[in-house]
Chains A and B, each alone.
Chain A
């Protein structure tokens, strides 16, 4: 029995999504075909599009399906940059603690496409410095192609005041990565006023391999994928109808149950923090716990090695995560935590537990039963 505390990495698929997926898998047809078989599949996916539009409060035509959150981020960031670059707007404003799926496309544009990147600092609680942002917007006024700042952070859970950021941005397009927020906290694309937002199915009880870029209507951006012209030429590629209908089922389920699940998850999170504190007295929690996602908690265990902690917890059937792993699979100090002001040693002694409403107090008790031994072993192994 695995105690799974890594829901920020991926979530179990909910029943309605599994059912929708299975039923759709049996249906034959390419949604772009003109005949009745194709049109029938097309109807299912357009139904799904409307459901997702309702879930995030946008127009159906603003939903562009992609294969991953990473793809949606790339599409938004590169698309908006190239659009701005046409008018000589080459500045990208972002934060110092974005996910790699935002940081890396921005970095690539800087290295290869002449983008000038301005990265706004975050504070120890994981909030953007709005004064610094205001100054940056003022300084680069007519040269900004886009601003990309994540709605909530995947390592520490802090939720940004995106509506305020949109106000500060003025006419500048704002993109926000909502992958961890969608289905968990209140999220209205319309009310936020952003130009673009990214959401992903497998973070919210849907299947892997399908996500969406919500892009303000009327906006034409350069696609990354050229081909059959699906999604008004913005994203070519045969529609993944089974994935899309399952995504919609999961999204609807998440938003409908959001309030009660939020209460339960926050209770579990408090239980987890208290349980760990009881057993390991010198730990601390990173990031604000008020303006935060319900389930994510980043905990630093001083003088340990998080790789060792993870290995030992894994052996006990407890799954959690350390900061970012690079493509070689080697743990690197988390740039998120470094941006928030932790030392390198502190970042490599930090674990992320991300809970969902499917977790139980028994699982937390299991963690409580082993955590002091695990921490002691890790500290012992670090004595050199």
Chain B
């Protein structure tokens, strides 16, 4: 229970469904802020009070679990090291994978609980191969992408009561249930960067070493103040001093941490047709090795499904997109869908 409306309604529905429910708020920062300022950041002390109040209104026991150390090791440190390696991480995936459905789930099971309920928008279904993971009914809120990192045994211990609901209805229901958080704004962006200024946050921790911005041939076009503050596909804010002869805008193609350079190129050069990702996590059984399959790829949290052929070669999950995607960073997740069912996911290591 984060103190937000989704987890509050999810908990209430779990109680209605007949589960014996205990509400837990995760203290993920060893130095939490006192108040939530707007929609950025999460899990301030005020948020923990909101979670407690929701638990009281619903009528379930409430505790706070300190997972600050695990969160720092598993999520924050990974976030930093990925940026240092020139990749673009998605910390929400790591949090689901290592904290919510691992550290928390393991501890809960150890204490005798059967599973973890969250307010994520996703649907699970029973199948002969075990529980499967599917997109939520509300395409705008669908969070199956960030849950696709979960192993089958983790999904088995997960319950998502909001999968069939549209967000506006969740808020309506919260109001009907007498939950004050019905109108609380959703939290956006990264929960541990409350200011919303990711670049600034990274700069504080990784320093700002200037380096060159170059084209594909290595020719210097400008300077940067920290390679990790650039995103693949970025066009604005490059401040290039050498204009392109054709007058075309240039885009960040690649970040090379070893030489501390940012490589830019044309829009065409941004095109990615194939993705290599590893190691894969399958939601169900692994596909037959080297068998060509058809499905949909999703490469961003709220990205469109991309028609694709894919296969698993024993090590890599390889997706060959029907149409190129423009600008794709390594470190992001590749999730394969079969209709609305999650087949599996893997971290992108190479884009071609």
By a beta-carbon cutoff of 8 Å, the part of chain A in contact with chain B is 307-308, 311-312, 314-315, 327-331, 377-378, 380-384
Who on chain A is nearest to B45 by CB? A328
Tell me the smallest distance from the CB of B328 to a CB of chain A, in Å: 35
**B32 part of interface (Cβ distance < 8 Å):** yes
Question: Can you sample 15 A-B contacts with CB below 8 Å?
Answer: A308-B107, A308-B110, A311-B61, A315-B22, A328-B48, A329-B48, A329-B64, A330-B27, A377-B111, A377-B112, A381-B106, A381-B107, A381-B109, A381-B111, A383-B110
Q: Number of B residues whose C-beta is below 8 Å from A?
A: 20
Who on chain B is nearest to A310 by CB? B63
Q: Which residues of B contact A312 (CB under 8 A)?
A: 111-112
Q: B185-202 CB contact bits vs A (8 Å, 1 = yes)?
A: 000000000000000000
**B153 part of interface (Cβ distance < 8 Å):** no
Q: Which residues of B contact A330 (CB under 8 A)?
A: 27, 64-66, 68
Residue from B27, B106, B110 whose CB has the most chain A CB atoms within 10 Å: B110
Question: With A328-B32, A329-B64, A330-B27 as given contacts, are A378 and B111 in contact (CB-CB < 8 Å)?
Answer: yes
User: Are B110 and A380 interface neighbours, CB within 8 A?
Assistant: yes
**Complex Cα–Cα for A383 and B111 (A):** 11
Tell me the smallest distance from the CB of A375 to a CB of chain B, in Å: 12
User: Are B63 and A307 interface neighbours, CB within 8 A?
Assistant: yes
Question: With A307-B65, A311-B63, A384-B106 as given contacts, are A328 and B27 in contact (CB-CB < 8 Å)?
Answer: yes
Q: Which residues of A contact B63 (CB under 8 A)?
A: 307, 311
Q: Which residues of B contact A384 (CB under 8 A)?
A: 103, 106
Q: Which residues of B contact A308 (CB under 8 A)?
A: 107, 110-111
Q: Which residues of A contact B32 (CB under 8 A)?
A: 328
User: Are B111 and A311 interface neighbours, CB within 8 A?
Assistant: yes
Which residues from 48 to 65 on chain B have a C-beta closer than 8 Å to any C-beta of chain A? 48, 52, 61, 63-65
**Complex Cα–Cα for A68 and B103 (A):** 39
Q: Which residues of A contact B112 (CB under 8 A)?
A: 312, 377
Q: B15-29 CB contact bits vs A (8 Å, 1 = yes)?
A: 000000010010100
Tell me the smallest distance from the CB of B47 to a CB of chain A, in Å: 10
Name A377's contact: one of B45, B48, B68, B110 (CB within 8 Å). B110
Q: Which residues of A contact B45 (CB under 8 A)?
A: 327-328
**Complex Cα–Cα for A329 and B32 (A):** 11
Q: Which residues of A contact B103 (CB under 8 A)?
A: 384
Given contacts A311-B111, A330-B64, A377-B110, 4 further A-B contacts (CB under 8 A): A314-B61, A330-B65, A330-B68, A378-B111
**Complex Cα–Cα for A384 and B108 (A):** 12
By a beta-carbon cutoff of 8 Å, the part of chain B in contact with chain A is 22, 25, 27, 32, 45, 48, 52, 61, 63-66, 68, 103, 106-107, 109-112
Who on chain B is nearest to A315 by CB? B61
Tell me the smallest distance from the CB of B143 to a CB of chain A, in Å: 26
**Complex Cα–Cα for A263 and B64 (A):** 37
Question: With A311-B63, A315-B61, A328-B48 as given contacts, are A382 and B110 in contact (CB-CB < 8 Å)?
Answer: yes
Q: Which residues of A contact B106 (CB under 8 A)?
A: 381, 384
**Complex Cα–Cα for A307 and B63 (A):** 9
Tell me the smallest distance from the CB of A309 to a CB of chain B, in Å: 10
Q: Which residues of B contact A329 (CB under 8 A)?
A: 25, 27, 48, 52, 64
Q: Which residues of A contact B65 (CB under 8 A)?
A: 307, 330
Q: Which residues of A contact B107 (CB under 8 A)?
A: 308, 381
Lowest 4 A-B CB distances belong to which pairs? A381-B110, A329-B64, A330-B66, A330-B27
Tell me the smallest distance from the CB of A379 to a CB of chain B, in Å: 9
User: Are A328 and B111 interface neighbours, CB within 8 A?
Assistant: no
Q: Which residues of A contact B109 (CB under 8 A)?
A: 381
**Complex Cα–Cα for A246 and B22 (A):** 37
Tell me the smallest distance from the CB of B101 to a CB of chain A, in Å: 14
**Complex Cα–Cα for A160 and B347 (A):** 61
Who on chain A is nearest to B107 by CB? A381
Name B22's contact: one of A311, A377, A380 (CB within 8 Å). A311
Q: Which residues of B contact A380 (CB under 8 A)?
A: 110-111
Residue from B22, B52, B111 whose CB has the most chain A CB atoms within 10 Å: B111
Q: Which residues of B contact A315 (CB under 8 A)?
A: 22, 61
Who on chain B is nearest to A384 by CB? B106
Residue from B45, B52, B103 whose CB has the most chain A CB atoms within 10 Å: B45
**Complex Cα–Cα for A380 and B107 (A):** 9
Residue from A311, A331, A383 whose CB has the most chain B CB atoms within 10 Å: A311
Residue from A314, A315, A328 whose CB has the most chain B CB atoms within 10 Å: A328
Who on chain A is nearest to B32 by CB? A328
**Complex Cα–Cα for A327 and B64 (A):** 11
Q: Which residues of B contact A314 (CB under 8 A)?
A: 61
Q: Which residues of A contact B25 (CB under 8 A)?
A: 329
Q: Which residues of B contact A381 (CB under 8 A)?
A: 106-107, 109-111
**Complex Cα–Cα for A311 and B66 (A):** 14
Q: Which residues of B contact A327 (CB under 8 A)?
A: 45
Tell me the smallest distance from the CB of A329 to a CB of chain B, in Å: 4
Who on chain B is nearest to A331 by CB? B66
Tell me the smallest distance from the CB of B2 to a CB of chain A, in Å: 14
**Complex Cα–Cα for A381 and B107 (A):** 5
Who on chain B is nearest to A383 by CB? B110
Who on chain A is nearest to B25 by CB? A329
Tell me the smallest distance from the CB of B92 to a CB of chain A, in Å: 22
Q: Which residues of B contact A378 (CB under 8 A)?
A: 110-111
**Complex Cα–Cα for A384 and B61 (A):** 25
**Complex Cα–Cα for A380 and B108 (A):** 10
